[in-house]
């Protein structure tokens, strides 16, 4: 196994949660959703885990002060690409694989993440995106592939055309990167999009244009990839966990 570092993106306010708490601090069965992500990460034995924080970060830093994580601040919050860039100073001497996860996708298991990492290493990829097919792709970024099935780019919903909006394969916000490829690509990401943000997803198209191997690994574990943006989704995830416990 090559060296592994993990970056968990946890800076969001979670406006749609209708609460002033940081989104990842909302509880699922009595535990902040972020704890579920960090527990899965622990099982991968990374060299280091970096937690990118923004809104009310002191709450989170205090709660996780005993955990094996380093805290990174993202101020202001200018998108996922900008968030990962904030971790660069901590990884200057790191060479290996960087796993980037969203702190609001709490059901992802260590098993699924291991499969993603194995696939990434077997294909000697510069980047591998974890994807899934959803009947209702909603607000997720769409995976655009060519006729050979190779991933060309990820299009965010707000920037997608009507054809792209029909795509059912979506980005889960989970990526494996070669460390050098990641920061080289991030330096070229621009904020020319509907949100005027620096999207991490743009790195795939940048790396592909450089002729580097860009892959998507599609999981069939649909429920593991649920991202939480609303109180309803929080309740749905609690139901799934309770169902798993009862099974």
DSSP 227: P
pLDDT at 150 over 80: yes
Mapped onto helix, strand or coil, the DSSP state of residue 196 is: coil
Question: Any idea which of 20-24, 93-97, 113-117, 131-135 has the lowest mean pLDDT?
Answer: 20-24
Q: What is the mean pLDDT of residues 129-141?
A: 93
User: Within its chain, how far is the Cα of 168 from the centroid?
Assistant: 18
pLDDT at 1 over 60: no
Q: Which stretches of the chain are DSSP H helices?
A: 33-42, 57-63, 80-85, 110-122, 162-165, 179-186, 202-209, 231-246
**pLDDT tens by residue, 21-44:** 999 999 999 999 999 999 999 999
DSSP 77: -
**pTM as predicted:** 0.95
Per-residue confidence band for 18, with pLDDT thresholds at 50, 70 and 90: confident
pLDDT at 247: 66
Using CA atoms of 27, 111, 80, 167 in order, give the dihedral in degrees to the nearest 10.
-100
**pLDDT tens by residue, 182-193:** 999 999 999 999
Name the catalytic one among 16, 57, 142, 145.
16
Per-residue confidence band for 148, with pLDDT thresholds at 50, 70 and 90: confident
pLDDT at 28: 96
pLDDT at 73 over 70: yes
Tokens standing for 131? 């994807």
Mapped onto helix, strand or coil, the DSSP state of residue 113 is: helix
- CATH class given for the domain over 4-246: alpha beta
Respond yes or no: is residue 16 known to be catalytic.
Answer: yes
**Domains of the chain: which residue ranges?**
4-246
**Which has the closest alpha carbon to 49: 103, 1, 12?**
103
Tokens standing for 74? 């993202």
């Amino acid at each position: 196994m090559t060296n592994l570092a993990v970056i968990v993106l946890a800076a969001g306010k979670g406006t749609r949660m209708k609460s002033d708490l940081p989104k990842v601090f909302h509880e699922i069965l009595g535990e902040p959703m972020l704890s579920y992500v960090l527990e899965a990460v622990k099982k991968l034995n990374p060299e280091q885990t970096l937690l990118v924080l923004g809104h009310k970060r002191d709450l989170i830093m205090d709660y996780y002060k005993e955990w094996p994580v380093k805290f990174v601040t993202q101020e202001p919050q200018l998108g996922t690409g900008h968030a990962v860039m904030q971790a660069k100073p901590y990884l200057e001497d790191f060479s290996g694989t960087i796993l980037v996860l969203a702190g609001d996708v709490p059901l992802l298991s260590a098993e699924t993440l291991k499969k993603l990492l194995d696939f990434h290493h077997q294909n000697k990829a510069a980047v591998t995106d974890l994807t899934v097919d959803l009947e209702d792709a909603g607000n997720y970024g769409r995976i655009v592939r060519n006729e050979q099935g190779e991933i060309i780019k990820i299009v965010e919903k707000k920037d997608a055309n009507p054809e792209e909006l029909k795509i059912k394969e979506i980005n889960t916000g989970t990526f494996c990167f070669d460390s050098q490829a990641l920061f080289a690509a991030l330096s070229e990401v621009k904020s020319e999009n509907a949100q005027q943000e620096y999207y991490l997803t743009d790195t795939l198209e940048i790396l592909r244009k450089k002729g580097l191997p860009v892959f998507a690994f599609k999981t069939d574990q649909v429920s593991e990839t649920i991202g939480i943006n609303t109180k309803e989704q929080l309740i749905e995830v609690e139901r799934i966990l309770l169902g798993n416990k009862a099974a």
